[in-house]
């Protein structure tokens, strides 16, 4: 079963591929997948032989974001607040860990790239999308907030485009994602996407590994992705909204494929 291996990791020489592997859930991020990501990122941070990480999703989708069935778990309000704050804090650190890797990170996006999926896309150094890709930050429509993806989204697209994405919470297509800089290039189909990934891998491997890692360090030194204290404030905001009546209604409406009460 996919949930037995929520993150498929393969390696060919210096190239590591991490494929989110919950296709029946459009690769929604479960706690088990998050733990697998954290283990991989810890390994890669120490690995001086790996030079490229390619992030993708199984079954024609990239990542549909947080698994809302876990957000909606029955538990006391106090326990839910504590668990969601810890989970969102870890989510923000995960994107920082991806960005901080010494390897060059490439995101290859097909299908759904929603909510937390945008964090994986935007914390990668380079992002490509197939024409089938669709992007959205739908959190406010679920009674939640895009707490930990927002800094990465704003860094990639600029604050103006990010503002529209997170407030309208609408789905945009790959062409629009390319226009606003959310991805670097849009390819016509999955085969063309893979061909471009291979071309970029070849180009990256022409660079000296130490120089590439130092260059990434210089890019990071241009400025933090978010102000000091933002990560904790974002985690607290997500925990508050995830524990609210709005989130309960928003998630229930999403599951039932209906509009939430505030939009009816």
pLDDT at 1: 43
pLDDT at 88: 87
Per the CB < 8 A criterion, the answer to whether 8 and 32 are in contact is no
Question: Which domains does the chain carry?
Answer: 2-205 (3.90.226.10)
- What is the sign of the dihedral through the CA atoms of 10, 44, 15 and 66? positive
What is the tally of helices (H) and strands (E) in the chain? 11, 9
Rounded Cα distance, 179 and 171, in Å: 14
Other CB atoms within 10 A of residue 60 CB: 15
Q: Tokens representing 171?
A: 């789905």
Rounded Cα distance, 256 and 27, in Å: 20
| pLDDT tens for each residue of the chain, 264 residues long | 456 899 999 999 999 999 999 999 999 999 999 999 999 999 999 999 999 999 999 999 999 999 988 776 677 777 777 888 888 899 999 999 999 999 999 999 999 999 999 999 999 999 999 999 999 999 999 999 999 999 999 999 999 999 999 999 999 999 999 999 999 999 999 999 999 999 999 999 999 999 999 999 999 999 999 999 999 999 999 999 988 999 999 999 999 999 999 997
pLDDT at 68: 86
pLDDT at 152: 97
Rounded Cα distance, 15 and 209, in Å: 12
pTM comes to 0.94
Q: Tokens representing 116?
A: 């937390």
Per the CB < 8 A criterion, the answer to whether 68 and 106 are in contact is no
């Amino acid at each position: 079963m996919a949930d037995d291996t929520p993150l498929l990791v393969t390696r060919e020489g210096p190239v590591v591929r991490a494929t989110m592997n919950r296709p029946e859930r459009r690769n929604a991020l479960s706690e088990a997948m998050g733990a697998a990501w954290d283990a991989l990122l810890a390994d890669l941070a120490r690995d001086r032989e790996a030079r490229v990480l390619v992030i993708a999703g199984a079954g024609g989708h990239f990542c549909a974001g947080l698994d809302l069935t876990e957000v909606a778990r029955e538990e006391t309000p106090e326990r839910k607040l504590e668990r969601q704050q810890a989970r969102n804090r870890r989510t923000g650190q995960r994107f920082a860990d991806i960005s901080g890797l010494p390897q060059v990170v490439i995101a290859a996006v097909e299908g759904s790239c929603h909510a937390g999926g945008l964090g994986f896309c935007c914390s990668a150094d380079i992002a490509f999308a197939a024409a089938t890709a669709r992007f959205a930050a739908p959190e406010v429509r679920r009674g939640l907030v895009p707490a930990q993806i927002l800094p990465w989204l704003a860094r990639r697209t600029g604050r103006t485009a990010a503002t529209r994405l997170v407030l309208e919470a609408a789905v945009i297509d790959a062409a629009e994602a390319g226009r606003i800089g959310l991805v670097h290039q849009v390819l016509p189909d999955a085969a063309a996407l893979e061909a471009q990934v291979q071309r970029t891998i070849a180009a990256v491997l022409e660079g000296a590994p130490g120089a590439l890692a130092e260059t990434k360090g210089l890019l990071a030194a241009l400025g933090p992705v978010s102000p000091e204290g933002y990560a904790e404030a974002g985690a607290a905001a997500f925990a508050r909204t995830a524990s609210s009546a709005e989130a309960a209604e928003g998630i229930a409406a999403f599951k039932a494929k209906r509009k939430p009460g505030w939009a009816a």
